Amino acid sequence: AQSVSQHNHHVILSEAASLELGCNYSYGGTVNLFWYVQYPGQHLQLLLKYFSGDPLVKGIKGFEAEFIKSKFSFNLRKPSVQWSDTAEYFCAVNPGGSYIPTFGRGTSLIVHP
Amino acid sequence: NAGVTQTPKFQVLKTGQSMTLQCAQDMNHNSMYWYRQDPGMGLRLIYYSASEGTTDKGEVPNGYNVSRLNKREFSLRLESAAPSQTSVYFCASRRLAGDNPGELFFGEGSRLTVL
């Protein structure tokens, strides 16, 4: 069965620090990749997605992610975090042709002002 | 444009009681999903419905049943609630965009406590 690993479970940063959250998956075929964000007390919403084409994907609020097929990775980055980025971040992988995305366990990000 | 609407938002049950979580989407999406979210466990799929008239088990279906009432509505039923079902439940929907599955749109969640 496919799996999605988010190695950083808890990340604490100060404002203006750079962020990189790791996501690795174990499926060898075509995949669709997503990062979702869940702000405190809210539902999940899409941050960015990759289907095909340019492996560097830009999302909302200055986030970007890079798909590296050879490493089965889809890491999330932001050059300078803000206090308002405090949230939980979920990576999700959907094998091509499947209805079912698999989610990682999430990374809790706390940004201190 | 409401998106995905879940009711109730909060519920407290006693062990053995039954209840139904309701979910409706107004985006004409084909697929609908029920997830539960527990601390440190991420999101785990309970049931999904790829299209109207079909339902399938996900990763953690035991103790739950679902009904895809029509294209808009997908309900989750706990027949005999157990404390292990204390969780936050999210309904989600998704359209199909050609060959790509598209992203999920989530409801605001239903927080269930079973005593």
Percent of chain B residues topping a pLDDT of 90? 81
Alpha-carbon gap, residue B84 to B81, rounded angstroms? 8
Query: Which tens digit of pLDDT belongs to each residue from B69-79?
Result: 899 999 999 99
Number of A:B CB contacts under 8 A?
Answer: 48
Chain A closest CA to B14's CA: distance in Å?
A: 24
pLDDT at B1 over 80: no
Give the confidence band of B97 by pLDDT, cuts at 50, 70, 90.
low
Alpha-carbon gap, residue A66 to A54, rounded angstroms? 9
Binding-site residues on chain B for chain A (CB distance < 8 A): 31, 35, 40-45, 48, 50, 58, 90, 92, 99-101, 103-104, 106-109
> Contact B104/B96 with Cβ under 8 angstroms?
no
Give the confidence band of B98 by pLDDT, cuts at 50, 70, 90.
low
Query: Which tens digit of pLDDT belongs to each residue from A45-84?
Result: 999 999 889 999 999 999 999 999 999 999 999 999 999 9
Least confident window among A27-36, A74-83, B26-35, B97-106: B97-106
- The reply to whether residue B48 touches residue A100, judged by beta carbons under 8 angstroms, is yes
Query: Which tens digit of pLDDT belongs to each residue from B26-47?
Result: 999 999 999 999 988 889 999 9
Q: Which residue has the higher pLDDT, A29 or B106?
A: B106
> Contact A5/A104 with Cβ under 8 angstroms?
yes
Q: What is the average pLDDT value for chain B, to the nearest integer?
A: 92
pLDDT at B7 over 60: yes
Give the confidence band of A97 by pLDDT, cuts at 50, 70, 90.
confident
Chain A closest CA to B38's CA: distance in Å?
A: 10
- The reply to whether residue B104 touches residue A101, judged by beta carbons under 8 angstroms, is yes
The pLDDT, as a whole number, for residue B68 is 95
Give the confidence band of B105 by pLDDT, cuts at 50, 70, 90.
very high
Alpha-carbon gap, residue A50 to B46, rounded angstroms? 25
pLDDT at A15 over 90: yes
Instruction: Region of A39 please: left (phi>0), alpha (psi -120 to 50) or beta.
Output: beta
Mean pLDDT, to the nearest integer, of B62-67?
Answer: 97
pLDDT at B99 over 60: no
Phi, psi of A26 (to 5 degrees): -120, 25
